[in-house]
Chains A and B, each alone.
Chain A
């Protein structure tokens, strides 16, 4: 078991190096090497966690996770922001698949509706309006690429180490085990009437939170209009109505 910290540490370093190589750094090359390093690092991370025990489940999960994480890496490292957005959309699809895999049907679909259908499209819209030519010089540059890649990888490493050291502790009896059987889960969170249960939860236990979220949406709407309205406020009081 003593090699776990070493493997995770080296995976972290590989991830940092790979991310650094992949990040846009002007004319510097080495992207494909960086991609290789990141892939190796992800493989090392994957090697340190137990598998799910069923080859169908395993493969589905691994594919979804790979889609999500690799698209995420691509989002961050692609020079063209439009590509970044597309990759992010793919990453969202992967995440939505992960949600579905967990039995969170509504979240899987809602993520696509909200993120991919509304947020990302709006951002693509703005991006295309602002940078119709695709990329600008600042998209070829990074701020502190080395430091940020190291920091991000370090966070991943620390979190992974924490998780692994808790779940695969030296004493087998100390490792956490879910107290819920398959039957209990099927009666609870994996029940057939998913939407009905979710709605019941949402509007009973979390009613206040729902109201607060609604208020938040309203406030954000008003705030957005207020912020954007001042763009069109001319200096000399001349205002063109677009009503």
Chain B
């Protein structure tokens, strides 16, 4: 196999993954998709590193990718925790809710394309609530459910 051609191909694949991840990170509003995009950028870098490691017949590239995996795992844990916290506070995964850190007199970023009262495509019928509203089970609240 032509090693330098292999390297070149891999570098371009890495660049494409990285650039695609960038686009996703910039434009998507869903925090989890943003995170996926960031991971994709890491993938692009990993591809580059492995290719260079093969080109130089050196294990360093693969070592670095192993550490990238480690860091990605840590990042995933932390990011997940943060996303959960933010979700708990706002009830939404929308990153645009968290633009309160802008300068005082800056105008807020508002959506123009879709009206805020957007309804998802499918509207499934809901049963009308009927009967007596169940009371909270006192025993369940006051007794330990488990060890």
Chain A–chain B contact at Cβ < 8 A: yes
Residues of A within 8 A of B (CB): 15, 19, 23, 25-28, 42, 45, 49-54, 57, 61, 65, 68-69, 72-73, 75-76, 81, 84-85, 88, 91-92, 95, 98-99, 102-104, 106-107, 110-111, 114-115, 118-119, 122-123, 126-127, 130-131, 133-145, 147-149, 151-153, 155-156, 159-160, 163-164, 167-168, 175-178, 180, 182, 184-185, 188-190, 197-198, 201-202, 205-206, 209, 213, 216-217, 219-221, 223-224, 227-228, 230-231, 241, 243
Contact across chains for B57 and A185 when beta carbons are under 8 A apart: yes
Q: How far is the CB of B118 from chain A (nearest CB, A)?
A: 4
Contact across chains for A27 and B29 when beta carbons are under 8 A apart: no
Contact across chains for A139 and B29 when beta carbons are under 8 A apart: yes
User: Which B residues lie within 8 Å of A188 (CB)?
Assistant: 57-58
Q: How far is the CB of B109 from chain A (nearest CB, A)?
A: 7
Contact across chains for B29 and A107 when beta carbons are under 8 A apart: no
Contact across chains for A28 and B113 when beta carbons are under 8 A apart: yes
A110 to B84, CA, bound (A): 26
A-B pairs with beta carbons under 8 Å apart, 21 shown: A52-B6, A54-B1, A69-B16, A75-B36, A84-B33, A102-B10, A102-B51, A102-B54, A104-B53, A115-B39, A119-B39, A122-B80, A138-B111, A148-B27, A156-B19, A159-B12, A163-B15, A190-B54, A201-B63, A220-B75, A224-B80
Contact across chains for B114 and A26 when beta carbons are under 8 A apart: yes
| Nearest A-chain residue to B88, judged by Cβ | A231
| Nearest B-chain residue to A127, judged by Cβ | B32
Q: A68-B17, A107-B65, A149-B27 are in contact. Are A160 and B12 (CB under 8 A)?
A: yes
